[in-house]
Structure 1
Amino acid sequence: MDTQSLRAFLAVAEQESFSLAAEQLHLTQPAVSKRVATLEGQIGARLFDRIGRHIGLTEAGHTLLPRARQILVMFDDTQRALTNLNGSIGGSLSLATSHHVGLHRLPPLLKHFTRQHPAVRLDLRFLDSEQAYQQVLDGALELAVVTLAPSPSKELVTVPIWVDQLHFVCGNEHPLASARELPLSALSDFDAVLPGDLTFTRGIVTETFAQEGLRVRVSMSTNYLETLKMMVSIGLGWSVLPETMIDDELHRLPIHHRPIERPLGYLFHRGRTLSNAASSMLRLLDAERTAEQDMAHE
């Protein structure tokens, strides 16, 4: 079985769609279908059930899926190891980032990197931090720069660079906006708008309340902090947001509690051979980390 057919199979399995897989691979849909059909012919089994518009893995497909990922990770790792021998910095670098980090932290670093290494094709993907973690674990990504998990997998190298202090905020006309000082428990009586239930940030917030024996009354969720800011500003509930996002549209709540912090940084798979391009990106990120530490000690 060839790697092109395996990549087509993986793309269809992950997207649950031949058309979306074709977009991801920059191919036509018939080309993807042909590659999957070739693979099915080679193994002598159907890999997908096509019922109406729904695409689902067959038993053979479920069996092949983890093995296909392992084969491609080993193939790509071997290619990188051989390419690295000549010392050149080129090829493709697959890098994921969350929307907040990508908009507020990474632009200067990415600008410097692309100017320094014009031969590198940057495959930048905006993903939720949790999705990026999983794709690095699966071998689909070389690097991710995201919110770090409270308990990361031992298979990953995770390095914090920045610390976001999350501040309690509400709209200027919210009932809580008139208070001069508030205990954390006061927030439990009002609706909150927070990131999704399975996000690292949501977990950090709810754990903070749980340590005080409190619960959070979440009325609405979204994983986009810019959308959260809008929802708070029009009075839909209180939330927590980084310092960089707080402006005149929001009221910072005087909560008598230590600040909630979330670490932001990079991660890669411990068992992966990094490309020269990825290693160069890590040097930039490490330099940024050193600069942040120096500023903190001033």
Structure 2
Amino acid sequence: MRCDTGATAHLRRRGRAQAYDRRGAALNVTQSEASAAIASLEERHATKLFHRVGRGIALTEAGRLFLTEARGVLARADAAETVLEELGGLKRGTLRLVASQTIAAYWLPPILAAFHERYPAISIELSIGNTGQAAARVYDGKADLGIVEGEIDNPALAHWPIGEDRLLLVGAQPFGDADIDVTWLRRARWGQREPGSGTRSTLNSELRSLGVDPAALDVALTMPSNESDRTAVEAGADVAVLSALVVDPAIKAGLLHVAPITFAPRPFFGLRHKERYRTKAADALLDVIGLQRR
């Protein structure tokens, strides 16, 4: 049996005041409105909650018992309303993010630090996966927002450019005056990221634009992370195309060298489910990203 919380609230207030006229004025409700709400509650449950003598009132035993329970119910209702108000004002809550590896490890951390400085009460849950895995989490509702390197072909997901980086062809030995043409690319021994990786997807697109079939490459190693791919290249096992964010420290240290070939800037994409609720925390993070890019 459901309880009318509005009538219950009137009962709590009446129980405190023990008088219709004074409390009704304080609540900005008329005596008749308060009386009708309480009478409805009594009638519905066939129980008298007040003794009425003239203009005065007193709780019955049933009223006292009910009021004890009602206070707990209304306190929880008040607390729930406070939670909603705080969520709306970004005073508490959780932002569920998913990002592909390059973004999560290199591009996103300073942005999250700036977000935390602005909204210290919002906790962040960051999941990491390749582009395909990130898209799946957003689609399944396990993440409020995704940030990935590759384009997503899923009509249920909205995706838009949110940042960018550069891809570099690197090796352990200097490339000198090498002519990085179609023949060179086909003859090189390659290290690659796994299928589903945004880095691999972008590389494949670049190769096709140059007239190279990605399936024709001599792939020596397929690696599950940027770091493992970079380390293999540093050891001289192969060449690879990786994000400048990943290889810049090794280039500066002289461990890797950059080939004389230029790839188009690689966009990062934001991902959201078109039909799911847009959280204020996710919107706030997008605002921070916009400020960081200026």
Band the TM-score falls in, shorter-chain normalisation: 0.5 to 0.7
Report deviation, 1:221: 1.2
- Partner residue of 2:202? 204
Provide the rounded CA distance (Å) in 2 between the counterparts of 1:115 and 1:254: 41
Matches within 5 A, 1:48-197: 83=84, 87-89=88-90, 90-149=92-151, 151-172=152-173, 177-197=175-195
Tell me if the contact between 2:199 and 2:243 (Cα under 8 Å) persists in the aligned partners.
no
In structure 2, runs of 5+ residues without a counterpart are 1-79
Task: Look up the equivalent residue of 1:158 and give its one-letter code.
Answer: H
SS of alignment partner, residue 153 of structure 1: coil
- Partner residue of 2:269? 265
Provide the rounded CA distance (Å) in 1 between the counterparts of 2:260 and 2:176: 10
1:277 aligns with 2:277: no
Provide the rounded CA distance (Å) in 2 between the counterparts of 1:213 and 1:129: 23
Query: Once the two structures are superposed, what CA deviation does each residue of 1:161-193 show, in whole Å capped at 9, x if it has no partner?
Result: 2222211111127xxx34432213212112200
SS of alignment partner, residue 141 of structure 1: coil
Tell me if the contact between 2:199 and 2:242 (Cα under 8 Å) persists in the aligned partners.
no
Number of residue equivalences: 204
- Partner residue of 2:222? 221
- Partner residue of 1:34? none
1:286 aligns with 2:290: yes
- TM-score w.r.t. length of structure 2: 0.63
Tell me if the contact between 1:206 and 1:216 (Cα under 8 Å) persists in the aligned partners.
no
SS of alignment partner, residue 249 of structure 1: coil
Tell me if the contact between 1:84 and 1:275 (Cα under 8 Å) persists in the aligned partners.
no
Provide the rounded CA distance (Å) in 2 between the counterparts of 1:223 and 1:182: 26
SS of alignment partner, residue 139 of structure 2: helix
SS of alignment partner, residue 180 of structure 1: coil
SS of alignment partner, residue 160 of structure 1: strand
Task: Look up the equivalent residue of 1:231 and give its one-letter code.
Answer: A
- Partner residue of 2:10? none
1:233 aligns with 2:234: yes
Provide the rounded CA distance (Å) in 2 between the counterparts of 1:260 and 1:164: 9
Tell me if the contact between 1:170 and 1:253 (Cα under 8 Å) persists in the aligned partners.
yes
SS of alignment partner, residue 88 of structure 2: coil
Tell me if the contact between 2:150 and 2:201 (Cα under 8 Å) persists in the aligned partners.
no
Tell me if the contact between 1:167 and 1:260 (Cα under 8 Å) persists in the aligned partners.
no
Tell me if the contact between 1:130 and 1:199 (Cα under 8 Å) persists in the aligned partners.
yes
In structure 1, runs of 5+ residues without a counterpart are 1-78, 292-298
Provide the rounded CA distance (Å) in 2 between the counterparts of 1:218 and 1:207: 16
Task: Look up the equivalent residue of 1:122 and give its one-letter code.
Answer: I
Superposition RMSD in Å = 2.4
Instruction: Return the index of the structure with the highest Cα Rg.
Output: 2
Tell me if the contact between 2:95 and 2:282 (Cα under 8 Å) persists in the aligned partners.
yes
Report deviation, 1:124: 1.5
SS of alignment partner, residue 206 of structure 1: helix
Provide the rounded CA distance (Å) in 2 between the counterparts of 1:213 and 1:145: 28
Change (3 A) 1:234 1:260: farther
Provide the rounded CA distance (Å) in 2 between the counterparts of 1:236 and 1:128: 24
- TM-score w.r.t. length of structure 1: 0.62
Tell me if the contact between 2:150 and 2:198 (Cα under 8 Å) persists in the aligned partners.
yes
Tell me if the contact between 2:148 and 2:198 (Cα under 8 Å) persists in the aligned partners.
no
